[in-house]
Amino acid sequence: MKYEKAVQYKKEFLEKVHESIPKYYYIIITPAIANESERYIGEFLRNPKLFNDKNSRKYSSNDDYIVVSFEKSDVYEKK
């Protein structure tokens, strides 16, 4: 989906889920192409606080995105 649609999808998703979900899961917009997504998520995990959804646009070669979620853990997040 196009970036603007992904932003809307994420917004609607966050409105529907329990408020604790973003506390325990990353919910991000990432390029739809697997190798671009893998590269973006790898960079994201190095320092999630420096990233926002707009950063994903730098990694996409075709302006096609998906919204993904994955669990936060001590491996990914320094406390």
pTM above threshold 0.95? no
- 16-56 pLDDT tens trace: 999 999 999 999 999 999 999 999 999 999 999 999 999 99
Helical segments of the chain, H only: 3-16, 21-24, 34-46
Q: Tell me, what's the pLDDT at 1?
A: 97
pLDDT at 73: 81
Task: Give Rg (Cα) of the chain.
Answer: 12
Instruction: Give long-range contacts, CB 8 A cutoff, 24+ apart: 22-25.
Output: 23/72, 24/71, 24/72, 25/69, 25/70, 25/71, 25/72
Domain ranges of the chain: 3-71
74 has pLDDT over 90? no
Nearest to 65 by CA among 77, 57, 55: 57
Comparing 43 with 74, the larger pLDDT belongs to 43
pLDDT at 79: 44
Contact 65/31 with Cβ under 8 angstroms?
Answer: yes
